[in-house]
Amino acid sequence: MYKNHIRTLLLISICSLMSCVSKSDNDDLVAENERLKAELNDCKYGTELLYEKSVGYLKSDDLSSSKAYLDTLILKHPESRNDTAISSLEFRIHKALAEEQERLASQQQKARDKELQRIKVEEQRIAKAVSKMDKKHDKFQKVTWYESGNDDWEGWDNGSLRFYLYFKVSDNEEKADNLRLRIDFNDNDQLRPELGVVEGYIFLIDGSVFKYFPRSISSISDGLRTYERSDNIVNKELLEIINLIVSGDKIELRINGSSGNRECILGKTQIEALKYGLVAYKALGGSLDFEY
């Protein structure tokens, strides 16, 4: 009860005070309030402040912010356009923006030219790779076989090696598939009969070892020589080895036999044949996204 009584007295006192303020005093308060609002607005949007902000951002190469402050200055103070300093600032900003646009246009043109050059080089690389492929059309199966380097034997001592990719393109699909790796090895070294039957290949690529043991290796004779041939479809694991070979600096090869081995350095001819085979295969629509 006591608290309610006090609250009532306070309300009566406030109302009494308010009723004591004359109209003249109230008008003075309103005028003072408007004056303070004008001062606050001038502090926020004053000519000098906006000018200094615009100049500061121009010096830091923030042209967007500099222009924004200048636009606000002119909007709030239209008469400022007659000021020499502000006119000069407006000219400098517009000049800087024009130069920036010119730089951007130049950079974009250079980027376009670079991309066109890259495409041109890539097209030339693809055309060269496809031209290096030997084509054989099978009219019965209605496919064309593409082979890279199938006549390129690389010899060392008394042996020789042929190492290349090949694939087919069906007449009705015109899309490469069935990418295969073929390795032919001929050993004429009668002084080292300990090699025996070829069982697989071990690559030493820039110091790292990778093993490739084909599912089957058969003996082939073409009238000039007898050689061991492996012929297998390229899968994810084999593609990894091929990619490392074509991008490696030094590729050594050990041919594993049932009784011994032979070692050689894989030459430029064999590596180029693999590169051309991969490029041509992709250029003719072949996919290297193997699941396994």
For position 2, what pLDDT does the model report?
43
For position 12, what pLDDT does the model report?
53
Nearest by Cα to 256 from 183, 190, 191: 183
State the alpha helices, DSSP H only, in the chain. 2-20, 23-45, 47-59, 63-76, 84-132, 236-247, 268-283
Nearest by Cα to 185 from 140, 218, 215, 139: 218
Residues 6+ apart with CB under 8 A from 99: none
Tokens describing residue 253: 């090869």
pTM for the complete prediction? 0.61
State the alpha helices, DSSP H only, in 197-290. 236-247, 268-283
Per-residue pLDDT of the chain (292 residues; tens, 9 = 90+): 444 544 554 455 545 545 555 656 665 555 556 555 555 555 556 788 888 888 899 888 898 898 998 888 888 888 887 788 888 888 999 999 999 999 999 999 999 989 988 888 878 878 888 888 899 999 999 999 999 876 667 766 557 888 899 999 999 887 899 999 999 888 765 545 677 788 999 999 999 999 999 988 888 887 777 788 999 999 999 999 999 999 999 899 998 988 888 888 888 888 888 998 999 999 899 999 887 7
For position 191, what pLDDT does the model report?
47
CA distance 56 to 66: 7
Domain ranges within the chain, ordered by starting residue? 30-134, 139-283
